[in-house]
Structure 1
Amino acid sequence: MFRTLTLLAATTLALPAFADGHAASGDAAEGEKAFRQCISCHVVENDEGEVLAGRNAKTGPNLYGIIGNKFGMVEDFRYSDINQLAASMEDVIVTEEVFVAYVQDPTAYLREVTGDKGRSKMTYKVRKEEDAVNLYAYLASLSPEPEETN
């Protein structure tokens, strides 16, 4: 099992973009380091219940499968009203651009997208754009193919 995970990690990190075609311009290995700041609130747990990153944190949503999918749609997570409003907008897909803007200032991003004055539940802000880009690459390396969105 360890050998398989090591091989999978090495293969994933060697790719300049993630397998489903969503460009990930950052460094996944650096993103893994930056993710240490996220583990107090978030986990990346696949559909089989295997924790791929983080601990069993439940303050924030599970980040498995968010890349390339509709914004704010993690099942059974209670989002803020403004976040739900953003999720109801059909064109908000978690791309690198959306992810980076959101994690650097969640409330400002949601206010810009929705025109609403609400607040995000996520109060942490990733300070450096480079860290945000690397976080995206790391989460992309752990993500399945995105679901079809119509």
Structure 2
Amino acid sequence: MLKPLSLTLLTATLAAPGFAAGDAENGEKVFRKCKACHAVGEDAKNKVGPTLNGIVGAAAGANADFKYSDALTEMATGGLVWDEASMTAYLTKPKDFMPGTKMSFAGLRKEDDVADVIAYLSTFN
């Protein structure tokens, strides 16, 4: 018999979509909108925005070679982790999620595009 905590964890795991819930192949196409400022992959370098290798599930502000906005630094100090919920909110409306962010991108309108980008980025973890 499962203990209550185990049952709760099992239920949460089954109910919550995973990072791979999106289509990584389509996410690569959607990510083209991000490439002006961000890079991923083996030879990725910081641009206007930081490289995004390992971003999925990482603590915010973890790239020591990038100067983040005060807004991101403050949220990172508060414990922000780039989990599915925070990435979804940020990619949908960056300035609503993080007032004062340096990211000028307005956001992705389609939920599927957001899930696909997260799935794509998770391939670089």
What SS is found at the alignment partner of 2:81?
coil
* Normalised TM-score (structure 2): 0.77
Alignment gaps of 5+ in structure 1: 1-21, 112-118, 144-150
Q: Report the count of equivalent residues.
A: 107
1:62 is aligned to 2:51:
yes
1:142 is aligned to 2:120:
no
Report the RMSD for the aligned CA atoms in angstroms.
1.6
Q: Is the 8 A contact 2:19 2:118 kept in 1?
A: no
What SS is found at the alignment partner of 2:20?
coil
Matching of residues 105-124 of structure 1 within 5 Å? 105-111=93-99, 119-124=100-105
What SS is found at the alignment partner of 1:142?
coil
1:95 is aligned to 2:92:
no
Q: Is the 8 A contact 2:56 2:83 kept in 1?
A: yes
Larger radius of gyration: 2
Matched to 1:82, the amino acid is A
1:83 is aligned to 2:64:
no
> Post-superposition shift, 1:104?
1.3
* Normalised TM-score (structure 1): 0.65
Alignment gaps of 5+ in structure 2: 1-17
> Post-superposition shift, 1:23?
3.3
Point out the structure with the larger helix share.
Answer: 2
Q: Which has the higher contact order (CA 8 A, sep 6+)?
A: 2
What is the percentage of aligned positions where both structures have the same residue?
A: 37
Point out the structure with the larger strand share.
Answer: 1
Which 4+ runs in 1 deviate beyond 2 A? none
What SS is found at the alignment partner of 2:21?
coil
Matched to 2:81, the amino acid is I
